[in-house]
């Protein structure tokens, strides 16, 4: 019996792509990590896995040579923090793609590329204007992928939450700090819904260059905190100023925008399991 060759590359197997892998057919994908030990754990589960570091040019080249039947790439690797050019990792991937069979790239970007801080509504037509290094690096990475000549879709993501990753624990243990008066708009997506979105994007025949991802109910930060504190019976968290958040590099918490998800739901035929934080938390 012929062994199935992976046709989907899950690059950067962290919180989200590990859950994507759990829903895919073993053998249909290869999942990567910078950690050889993590790859060994996945291989013990029967997954195809290989160490890959975008900091190492040879690592990128050898990875794509090792899996010549790949046709789809899902990239969740954040821009390289320590590099002079934070997009150099993506540029190495783009260079390698030229000699592969890959036709589709799904890049997990961020709604931070919009740079909106005034509570405006944003969608796919909103012109990006990133104001901090993280947002700028993500947007430049999007542009680098588009230069590849492949069909590229950037999923612009809000805060991702789910089991083991939410503000609930930090509120309960008293380490969470609200920025300012908490009247800023926040957006989020439950990881299980995001997994469905990614898989639908992989399977879609055609998608636009950008899709905004979020649940159905953007909410003011104060309202989310009030809901959690009332449910858990804990005090409302203390606050820090925007200047303190900025000094700490908490750029995502300084965002203030309302993400529209209409196109995402229409093109991917998605019905969210967790349409708001009330169900998801």
Residue 83: per-residue pLDDT? 78
Specify the pLDDT at position 264. 98
Percent of the chain with pLDDT over 70: 99
Mean predicted confidence (pLDDT) in 148-164: 96
pLDDT at position 2? 46
From start to end of the chain, where are the E strands?
8-11, 29-33, 48-51, 72-75, 104-110, 120-122, 151-157, 159-161, 178-179, 185-186, 188-190, 210-212, 219-220, 239-240, 257-259
End-to-end CA distance of the chain: 45
Alpha-carbon dihedral of residues 189, 195, 199, 200, nearest 10 degrees?
A: -30
Sign of the dihedral through C-alpha 68, 106, 145, 83: negative
Residues 179, 203: Cα–Cα separation, whole Å: 39
- d(C-alpha 190, C-alpha 159), whole Å: 9
CB 186 within 8 A of CB 220: yes
Averaged pLDDT for residues 39-58: 97
Give pTM, 2 decimals.
Answer: 0.95
pLDDT, mean over the chain: 95
As a whole number, mean pLDDT of residues 203-220 equals 97
pLDDT in tens, 128-146: 999 999 999 999 999 999 9
Reference 19, options 73, 76, 63; nearest CA is 76
């Amino acid at each position: 019996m012929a062994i199935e060759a992976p046709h989907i590359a899950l690059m950067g197997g962290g919180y989200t792509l590990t859950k994507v892998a759990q829903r895919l057919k073993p053998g249909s994908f290869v999942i990567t990590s910078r950690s050889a030990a993590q790859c060994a754990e996945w291989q013990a589960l029967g997954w195809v896995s290989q160490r890959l570091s975008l900091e190492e040019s040879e690592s990128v080249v050898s990875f794509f040579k090792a899996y010549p039947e790949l046709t789809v790439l899902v990239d969740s690797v954040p821009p390289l923090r320590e590099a002079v050019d934070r997009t150099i990792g993506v540029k190495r991937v783009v260079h390698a793609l030229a000699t592969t069979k890959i036709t589709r790239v799904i890049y997990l970007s961020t709604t931070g590329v919009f740079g909106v801080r005034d509570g405006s509504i944003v969608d796919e037509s909103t012109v990006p204007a990133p104001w901090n290094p993280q947002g700028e690096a993500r947007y430049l990475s999007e542009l680098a992928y588009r230069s590849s000549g492949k069909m590229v879709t950037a999923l612009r993501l809000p805060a991702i939450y789910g089991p083991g990753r939410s503000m609930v624990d930090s509120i309960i243990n008293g380490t969470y700090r609200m920025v300012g008066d908490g009247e800023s708009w926040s957006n989020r997506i439950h990881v299980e819904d995001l997994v469905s979105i990614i898989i639908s994007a992989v399977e879609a025949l055609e998608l636009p260059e950008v899709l905004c991802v979020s649940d159905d109910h953007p909410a003011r930060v104060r309202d989310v905190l009030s809901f959690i504190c009332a449910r858990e019976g804990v005090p409302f968290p203390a606050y820090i100023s925007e200047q303190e958040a900025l000094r700490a590099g908490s750029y995502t918490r300084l965002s203030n925008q309302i993400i529209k998800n209409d196109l995402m739901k229409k093109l991917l035929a998605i019905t969210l399991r967790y349409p708001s934080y009330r169900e998801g938390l």
